[in-house]
Chains A and B, each alone.
Chain A
Amino acid sequence: MTRASNLRRMEKEDQINLHGMWGSTFTKRVELALKLKGIPYQYNEEDLSNKSQLVLKYNPVHKKLPILVHNGKPIIESLIILEYIDETWKNAPRFLPGDPYERAKIRFWPSFFNQQLFEGVGRVVTTDGEAQEKATNDLFEKLKVLEEGMKEFFPGGSPTPSINGENMGLLDILMCTLFGPYKIHEEIVGIKMIHPERNPLLSSWLMAQRSNL
């Protein structure tokens, strides 16, 4: 079956709009998810300092991005958007496995990505001198935890491009959008965040993703 015929039958009026910011990891996650599923969408670049009326209408509580609007219905929070996409468009790749326990194991990590890693990377990129040294060491500690944690998803030791074995799944999307731009990090900050010696599994995972994309 072709991917096109696997797609959930799109109604004539099916409208998907993504409001986001080009530099934001959270926006990139949703863009990658939509592209992986082959879902056509319209992208609206938003300026944080001058949010459009639409953003204020769709996200009055948080006023944050990204916002996915599906046929007029807004969904916010990147992780919730990713689950919504996976549940609405059930074609491959599936972002979460079918088994409830496997899903629970994967669901443990997004908050680690959001709270520990995302903020950790931010601190390394926005500080210098002693503060940056401390931030870098903190990040390396957290990457150690991630390296250990990911071992159970890659029992063979060397990853295929995805935790699901075939396609990009939820953790692949999180990993790819946060650490994918590592070359830029290295150029700008001069720090190799994921090093093949310190994080062999994470390094080879990133490499595998690069070649798959």
Chain B
Amino acid sequence: MAEVKLLGFWASPFSDRVIWALKLKGVNYEYVEEDPHNKTQLLLQHNPVHKKVPVLIHGGKSIPESSIILEYIEETWPQNPLLPQDAYQRAMARFWIKFGEEKMATICAVFRTAGVEQEKAIQEATKLLKIIEEQGLGDKMFFGGDGIGLGDIAFGWLAYLYEVVEKVSAVKVLDADTFPQLHAWIQNLKEVPVVKENLPDHQKLVGHLKRRRETHLALLNCHN
């Protein structure tokens, strides 16, 4: 089998989702840790347009952009399918994956704001999370139905990264009372062995995001 290499960054949820997909499919790969402040020649060579992780390199061919990588993995290794067979269900799954990606910045805006701006950010995030919970997840155990699919992988950051965002931003948005279904989903997702065994170190992530938030706030103060 051709060699599979993943260029990633330990704190990036976009990297994590590729790791989960590869492991769920039982694909062996070599992981290369990239430092965003000191990018390797390998990364610049394999993602010249955006220069970002993750990049999957399969038999020398490079695939950038996590959502494209996920579709590539699904199509190349059909075992343990992560997308439904039915075309309509697939369209629905793709819609929610896209929705999550487009709204991620808004949902995480609490991280980049303070005071009145942060209050507004909390409201916006709550609205979007409600839509995701009611219309995306609904009564299902997972976004993928009875088992985990690409939707769960794409929203995975909500299950482990968001609580760190909330902690360092001193806010609580995704609480169990307001979002019972999303909360149940988070608990279920964290029990999936591949997810459980492949989460970044919580304390390390807290430290990393704390430093980044301090930088954001310092910049905000400069502009005021």
Chain A residues at the B interface, C-beta cutoff of 8 Å: 60-61, 70, 73, 75-77, 80-81, 83-84, 87-88, 100-101, 103-104, 107-108, 145, 149
Contact = CB atoms under 8 A, between A and B. Distances in A.
Interface in B85-100: 87-88, 90-91, 94-95, 98-99
B72 interface: yes
B75 A80 contact: no
Interface stretch (B60-68, B137-145, B164-172): B60-68
Majority-rule SS of B interface residues: helix
B61 A61 contact: no
A61 B63 contact: no
A100 B72 contact: yes
Contact of B98 (A80, A100, A108): A80
A136 to B, nearest CB: 22
Contact of A87 (B58, B87, B99, B131): B87
Contact of A61 (B68, B75, B131): B131
B90 A84 contact: yes
A88 B87 contact: yes
A104 B63 contact: yes
B14 to A, nearest CB: 14
A76 B98 CA distance: 11
Closest 9 pairs (CB-CB, A-B): A100-B75, A87-B87, A84-B91, A104-B72, A88-B87, A100-B76, A104-B63, A107-B68, A75-B91
Contacts of B58: 101
Contacts of B76: 100
Given A76-B95, A77-B95, A103-B75, A84 B88 contact: yes
Contacts of B75: 100, 103
A60 B63 CA distance: 34
Say whether chain A's binding surface is mostly helix, strand, loop, or mixed: helix
Nearest to A112: B49
B71 interface: yes
B135 interface: yes
Interface string B63-84: 1110011011001100000000
B96 to A, nearest CB: 10
A80 B76 CA distance: 20
Contact of B71 (A61, A76, A84, A104): A104
A77 B98 contact: yes
Given A84-B88, A100-B75, 10 more contacts: A73-B88, A80-B95, A81-B91, A83-B90, A87-B87, A88-B87, A100-B76, A103-B71, A104-B71, A107-B65
A75 B63 CA distance: 27
Contacts of A107: 65, 68, 71
A159 B88 CA distance: 33
Nearest to A62: B99
Interface in B109-128: none
Contacts of B49: 108, 145, 149
Given A61-B135, A100-B76, A80 B91 contact: yes
Interface in B156-175: none
Contacts of A77: 94-95, 98
Contacts of B94: 77, 80, 83
Contacts of B135: 60-61
